Structure 1
Amino acid sequence: MKTTYARLRRTLGQLAYEKRYGVRTAELIELDKLGIAGEGRGYYVAASWRTLRRTLSRKEITPRDVFVDFGSGMGRMVLEAARFPFGRVVGVELSEDLHKIAEANVRRTRQRLLCRDIELLHGDVLTYQIPDDVSVAFFNNPFQGLVFATVIERLVASLDRNPRRLKIIYYNPVEERTVLDTGRATLARELVHARRRTAGTPFGLTKVFELR
């Protein structure tokens, strides 16, 4: 009963937030309906609104920091990141439909956001040139396998070109081993958002890695 009540409270809270700001992000959509289904891709569902507030401190973010959401969907985490003092916030999304919704969401809320330099890109992450100043990379399990491994490899390559502090915030981290196998990552934090009552196993897990 407590678990059901907590889930209902979170859902109502998220819907109230969306109504207040006039945005649309709270949907679960199978990728075949978006025309982008493929190996290593599952479905679209946004991470919790509270994810960044639970994993980042405003004190550690400066205008020199850059946030990139790989698989940004309808832009929920882009909007959340823009409430921090990032110098730039970027979202990369393969689905044109989700990308257009994200653009509309940003237009409706831009004046309320702390970071005004927001860039939404429609395209494949494999053709995206990862900027050498990205300091926070966000993944909501948008893809797995070779695609995920390639993006992580390119993040490490960007570190080699420009040594700096780099965090990976990984919501639903099914490819955690790929991150750790780089030999450059350490687990900094782990957050469990809910638990299944029957098995007691994590459900809704976020892991934060530091790359060097």
Structure 2
Amino acid sequence: MSAYKWLRRNVGQLLYERRYGVRTAERVDLADIGLDGEDRVYYAALNWRALRKALPKTEVSERDVFVDFGSGMGRVIVQASQYPFGRVIGVELSQELTEIARQNVRNMRVRRRCGEIELIASDVLDYAIPDDVSVAFFNNPFRGRIFSEVVNRLIASVDRAPRRVRMIYGNPLEEPYLMSTGRFRHLRTIALKPDPLGPPFGTIRTYDLLPK
């Protein structure tokens, strides 16, 4: 990347951070905080423009519950708070990153439209998925066995409490497993272009979780 492009992108990040009053831009390698392990992935924040492209606000009501699996410093939580969700939940392995996310939620300068915000420091495999979750968000936070286990638990939740669930998946490397379950239908794909106001581009896909 040229110095000019690097400068434009990082200045853009800082402008968004200042506008929202948060700190979310750093990349964090789990090895640096003693949490690396098989199938775990480093923290890198989603492009600031991505969620609103993947999930139009007109598709959300106060009956909806949003969960970000691997919520990190809370950038997506801050964005989700601008939707009329009944609850917004972040689940993050790192206590340190969860505390940063809580501070970001306290400090954010934009008007909050959602109801309750809950930030939980927990291994996702120890987290009981609520049976009212209707939007599940993954920014490639884990892969392999961890991903398949969480997906299977999400499916089990829908089987216990039938409802519509949409899954939003950034950088969907485990899509082959997802589709192999026979329970997901692709709704839309957002291919993010190189953006001077955010992280490097990528792909975000949205799916419906089908009833049994």
In the alignment, what sits opposite 1:19? 18
Secondary structure of the corresponding residue to residue 45 of structure 1: coil
Give the number of equivalent residue pairs.
205
In the alignment, what sits opposite 2:207? 209
Q: Residues 152, 60 of structure 1: CA spacing in aligned structure 2 closer, same or farther, 3 A cutoff?
A: same
The residue identity in structure 2 corresponding to 1:188 is L
Cα deviations across residues 145-165 of structure 1 (Å, max 9, x unaligned)? Answer: 111000000000011011111
In the alignment, what sits opposite 1:80? 79
CA–CA separation in structure 1 for the residues paired with 2:107 and 2:130: 27
Higher RCO (CA 8 Å, separation ≥ 6 residues): 2
The residue identity in structure 1 corresponding to 2:26 is E
Aligned identity (percent) is: 54
The 10-residue stretch of structure 1 (78-87 or 18-27) with the greater mean CA deviation from structure 2: 18-27
In the alignment, what sits opposite 2:114? 115
What's the CA shift for 1:21? 2.5
Do 2:131 and 2:158's aligned partners in 1 also have CA atoms closer than 8 Å?
A: yes
Do 2:129 and 2:154's aligned partners in 1 also have CA atoms closer than 8 Å?
A: yes
What's the CA shift for 1:12? 2.9
1:62-211 to 2 correspondences below 5 Å: 62-109=61-108, 112-194=111-193, 204-211=202-209
What's the CA shift for 1:20? 2.2
In the alignment, what sits opposite 1:199? none
Unaligned segments of structure 1, at least 5 residues: 196-201
CA–CA separation in structure 2 for the residues paired with 1:205 and 1:57: 16
Do 1:110 and 1:116's aligned partners in 2 also have CA atoms closer than 8 Å?
A: no
Q: Residues 143, 86 of structure 1: CA spacing in aligned structure 2 closer, same or farther, 3 A cutoff?
A: same
Cα deviations across residues 153-185 of structure 1 (Å, max 9, x unaligned)? Answer: 000001101111111100011101121111010
Secondary structure of the corresponding residue to residue 193 of structure 2: strand
| TM-score (norm. length: structure 2) | 0.90
4+ aligned runs moved over 6 Å, structure 1: 3-7
CA–CA separation in structure 2 for the residues paired with 1:47 and 1:141: 10
Unaligned segments of structure 2, at least 5 residues: 195-199
CA–CA separation in structure 2 for the residues paired with 1:8 and 1:55: 27
| TM-score (norm. length: structure 1) | 0.90
